[in-house]
Structure 1
Amino acid sequence: MISTEELINDCVLFQSVTPTEMEELLYYSEAEEFSEGSRILDEGNSTRYLWIIKSGSCEVRKKLANGSEQTLTQLSPLSVFGEMSFFKPAPHSASVVAVTDVEVVRIPGREFDQMLKEGAQGAQKVVFNTVRIMSDRLRMMDKWSAEMAESCGSQTRNAEWHDFRSKLYSDWKF
């Protein structure tokens, strides 16, 4: 199991957070355990928590049109999830399922919002670090999507991909 010191030192979410700021964040956080096979988040539902895995591993799964689920990635200790619905309340874009017994720490959105309102430095650092995490994920997704479009080999598909990418990065109108 990950200690509080390891959370501060090794979890990207808490990079540059001081021990005092971490105490404040953990004061409002909740610990929870899930057994193997438990669904921690369900795609389409909406909760406002920022989750950090202390022990165990999970899979992020996306529903397919045929009703089955595709595993997108595996999460290990110190991984963070739930950030999209945490910072912009919306239904979860994927499910998170415990592959082993899992222990998490989660930060409730309401308390986090209050910390930000009060100017808590630790909360501000978490926001900044989340932007970094999401930027890394978007960069990986962009690379993967470009490789996928290119592998199709079709001029039409490549043109569709470039049109989508242009809209995504400029005007967001679909």
Structure 2
Amino acid sequence: MAASRIELLQQMPIFGAIAADTVEFLLAAAPVVEVPRGGYFFREGEPGHGMFVLERGSVTISKSWQQHELLIRRLAQGDCFGEMALLDLFPRSASVRADVDCSAIELTSANLYRVFERDVEQFALIQMNIAREMSRRLRITDDLLFRASMGDVPETPERLLRR
């Protein structure tokens, strides 16, 4: 197992304070997904099966609205996306497109269940970290929504070309 992958995950908030042997165990069953420039990791509305940790490249997260793809955010190496699928089992809420050739580690519910069977404390810590990251993102969104409802209109989202 490449030490760089273990280090990459341990530097992320979701895997903060997770033991190296647990991260190595988690990665052992996690495939690496390659997506070429312009390809999609997933599209809005598709079933969600897991999250991705971007090992190489950059992606654009977008949402459809009135026949347009609107930019939500851009992510780079070391960022994660799709983590909501690990908790809520709902369809994808946005699309993630590769800006350049990308490589990402895919972590599924089955991967996490293996951790649960091996070490409940480490599993619980990962789940708490995922919830904290989702809460952090929700707070940002709540703030933007509140400001918009008070008349502080945010910058118009960038429209993306449909591919």
Aligned to 1:15: 16
Backbone CA RMSD of aligned residues: 1.9
Tell me how far apart the structure 2 counterparts of residues 112 and 97 of structure 1 sit (CA, whole Å).
Answer: 25
The equivalences for 1:144-163 within 5 A come to 144-151=144-151
| Structure with max Cα Rg | 1
Higher helix share: 1
- Residue type of the alignment partner of 2:58: S
Alpha-carbon shift at residue 70 of structure 1 (Å): 0.3
Deviations 1:24-73 (A, max 9, x none): 111121111111101111111103112111111101110112x2110100
For residue 76 of structure 1, report the CA deviation from its aligned partner.
1.1
How far residue 116 of structure 1 moved from its aligned partner, in angstroms, is: 2.2
Count of residues in correspondence between the two structures: 151
1:71-117 deviations in Å (ceiling 9; x for gaps): 10001111111111221111101100111111100112223234325
Q: Tell me the secondary structure at the aligned position of residue 147 of structure 1.
A: helix
Contact 2:63-2:94 at 8 Å conserved across structures: yes
Match of 1:132 in 2: 132
Say if 1:152 and 1:128 are closer, same or farther in 2 by CA, change over 3 A: closer
% identical equivalent positions: 23
Unaligned runs of 5+ in 1: 154-174
Structure 1 letter corresponding to 2:54: I
SS in 1 for 2:150: helix
TM (norm. structure 2) is 0.84
1:99 aligns with 2:99: yes
Higher strand proportion: 2
The alignment's TM-score, normalised by the length of structure 1, stands at 0.79
Alpha-carbon displacement from aligned partner over 1:136-165 (angstroms, at most 9, x marks no partner) = 101100111111111169xxxxxxxxxxxx
Other-structure match for 1:46: 47
Q: Secondary structure at the match of 1:103?
A: strand
* Residue 10 (structure 1) shift: 1.6
Counterpart residue number, 1:156:
none
Partner of 2:156: none
